[in-house]
Structure 1
Amino acid sequence: MKNDGDEKTSIIDVHPDIIQTLILTKLDGPTLISASVSSSKLYNLCCDDQLWRKICNSYWPSTSDPLIENIISTFPSGHRSFFSDSFPSIIRKPLVGKKPRQHIPATELTSAVDIHYDGNVLFSRALITEAKTGWFMSSPFRIELLGHEETFTTPEKFSDGGECRRNLMEKMKLSWILIDQTKNRAVNVSSLKAVSVKRHWLTGELKVKYSTVINSGAGAGAGAGELLQCGIVVTCEGKEGGDLHVREVSMQIEDMDGKVLCGKDSLVILRDVIEGGRKKRNENEIKENYENFLELKKKWKERKQIKEKRLDMACIASGITIFIAFWTLILVGSKSTGSYFS
């Protein structure tokens, strides 16, 4: 018989109620996923939807909106499936072997957006974008988060100096989750941390940008394999020393030329991204991808300018050749005519 001091108690010997109320509720999402694979008992306890609902609500307050709650309830494993889709980063590599989509069925695009400042919730909203009309399909794709003349205030004070920009870069975090209700899938298209903060030369507004670089699919208007940028811009305004107000939050997808994709092409891209793979989020890698995108975009523009310059030179040379040939024919013809009548 073993002495009490020799007996060992494992986690599976602890009462389930104690595990669920005193241990699992203290874990964050990634740790809870790791714990779920350690044993079948823990797996069953870790799959509790109420547990994952609290985690999702803590990460993204917009998920507590009844609209988002109803959508998440249709996911295969509820809030756990939603977290697994939305927490990781996008794998940039496009899906292999997919056939291009020739038709985009009528649908709605649901957004769950959360903005935090210095760890505190600043703004949250659930939004549905109608994607049924011909106007949406043919117009440049753009989702506006705020209504007309709607603004909200940040804890930051407006300043034209570098400190205000640095604070926005470090402290303002943005999450933009897109949900496809037809597939019961979701994806976070934001870099979470800003990749740049710039002052508009004319208006003086500060543009805080969040960006995720993705690959275009074969079914989109952009060339297959071409890099695209899903960019979210937060426009801030204010007076020197006064409150910093956010007056606009918008999301677009643009190609290497800086052209904004239309609604139809953007839906194709977003659906491929939503159905694509995920990987562990790495802020440094996301920032590096953005900087590489800017560098490739610059080289792309330079190559395009060289091609256009060569084309212009070829057109000029062709024009000069035609001009010389034309006058040569006239001169030769006039000489021939003169000799005939003389």
Structure 2
Amino acid sequence: MNFDHSPATISSIHPDILQDNILTRLDGSDLASTGCASSNLYNLSCDESLWRKLCRQTWPSTADPRVQSLIAGFPSGHRSFYSDSFPTLRNRPNTHPPCPNTDPPQSLISAIDVFYKGELILSKVNETETGPELSWFLCSPFRVDLLDPFETYQIPSVKFSKQENKCLTELGSGLTVSWILIDPINKRAANLSTSTAVSVHRHWLTGEVQLRFATILTGGDGEPVMCGVVVSCGGKEAGEVYVKEVNLMLEDVDGRTLSGEDSLVILENAMERREKKRINSMEEKEEYREYQRMKKERREIKQKREKTVDMVCIFICVSLFVAGLYLWTMR
């Protein structure tokens, strides 16, 4: 009796078993790596349904019909969208020259998901009109507000307190945000939120907890710009905690909120010349601290310059007064 003792290969496994029982259990990075192993695995791993399911599991907001319609126009559908949106955008200062000027998009689509310890808290899609005919948008400070004034979403198993730090610790370690910005014209996307909050503090007046998720981008002059997602949480003392506000804005190193026109240029440049790599939460916070350090130094230089100008003005005024007094006494 003859037995075939040749080693089993991946090709001996039925494609349906590979696709339904193995590839569906992989995350995006592993699925992309698996496709590099062989031509057979590449064909299986490129299946659109796999990447559609993976996108919806990672970002539930992508199930929205508007987002689905946009993703269908990407070069490789959901696979291209996942590649653009994962991991989060990293565009380090002074590493790229500015991109050539392109026509700004008529709108930007935001797909936002907020989780607490892996549980979905809210999932929304926001459309921001940005056309050149909207002069008020181009000149006004750039800000995208996700929620209506009285719209709130409860965060389970957390109790609100204006005094104790337990609430801050729990929210800081458990709350995560994904803010994917989509350019519907050029079919590009980028995730603008860090994996964890880079800062957690209380608002000095309301006592609400504010969490900042910040990505450092490159400004048109090569200087760093902070793209910040701020989540505000509030509630009644010893009561449930609610997400009350989620917004996105861009700020330069001088602390000024950038205009819509300047923000569009920076965001388009970041999506075009993105540098993406995995970094842990400590590195994200270190990038944010470095930006804050530069911001503090810039503020101190500005204060010293203003102080010097004030001293010169005082000296000139005093000199003129003394000279006038001298001339008056010489009459």
2:191 paired residue number: 188
What letter corresponds to residue 151 of structure 1 in structure 2? T
Residues matched between the structures, number: 325
Q: What are the Cα deviations for residues 298-336 of structure 1, in whole angstroms up to 9, with x where unaligned?
A: 11111111111112222222333444455556667x4xx
Distance 1:149 1:44, change over 3 A: same
Q: What are the Cα deviations for residues 78-125 of structure 1, in whole angstroms up to 9, with x where unaligned?
A: 001111110123232356343564x75451010000001111111000
Match status 1:209 vs 2:208: no
2:179 aligned residue (176, 186, 197): 176
Distance 1:50 1:99, change over 3 A: closer
1:17 paired residue number: 16
**Residue 113 of structure 1 contacts residue 124 of structure 1 at CA under 8 Å; is this kept in 2?**
yes
Distance 1:99 1:125, change over 3 A: closer
Provide the C-alpha distance between the structure 2 equivalents of 1:89 and 1:270, rounded to a whole number of angstroms. 14
2:33 paired residue number: 34
Offset of residue 32 of structure 1: 0.5
1:154 paired residue number: 155
**Structure 2 unaligned residues grouped into runs of 5+:** none
Aligned-partner SS, 1:193: coil
Aligned-partner SS, 1:201: coil
What letter corresponds to residue 306 of structure 1 in structure 2? K
Match status 1:46 vs 2:45: yes
**Residue 105 of structure 2 contacts residue 183 of structure 2 at CA under 8 Å; is this kept in 1?**
no
Match status 1:231 vs 2:228: yes
Provide the C-alpha distance between the structure 1 equivalents of 2:73 and 2:206, rounded to a whole number of angstroms. 45
Provide the C-alpha distance between the structure 2 equivalents of 1:65 and 1:268, rounded to a whole number of angstroms. 27
Provide the C-alpha distance between the structure 1 equivalents of 2:232 and 2:76, rounded to a whole number of angstroms. 37
**Residue 89 of structure 1 contacts residue 278 of structure 1 at CA under 8 Å; is this kept in 2?**
no
Provide the C-alpha distance between the structure 2 equivalents of 1:234 and 1:280, rounded to a whole number of angstroms. 24
Output the TM-score relative to the length of structure 2.
0.92
Larger Rg: 1
**Residue 146 of structure 2 contacts residue 245 of structure 2 at CA under 8 Å; is this kept in 1?**
yes
Moved more, 173-182 or 316-325: 316-325
**Structure 1 unaligned residues grouped into runs of 5+:** 218-223, 335-342
Output the TM-score relative to the length of structure 1.
0.89
1:285 paired residue number: 283
Aligned-residue Cα RMSD (Å) equals: 2.0
**Residue 90 of structure 2 contacts residue 215 of structure 2 at CA under 8 Å; is this kept in 1?**
no
Offset of residue 251 of structure 1: 0.8
**Residue 86 of structure 1 contacts residue 186 of structure 1 at CA under 8 Å; is this kept in 2?**
yes
Q: What are the Cα deviations for residues 28-78 of structure 1, in whole angstroms up to 9, with x where unaligned?
A: 111111111111211111111110000000000000010100000000000
Distance 1:70 1:266, change over 3 A: same
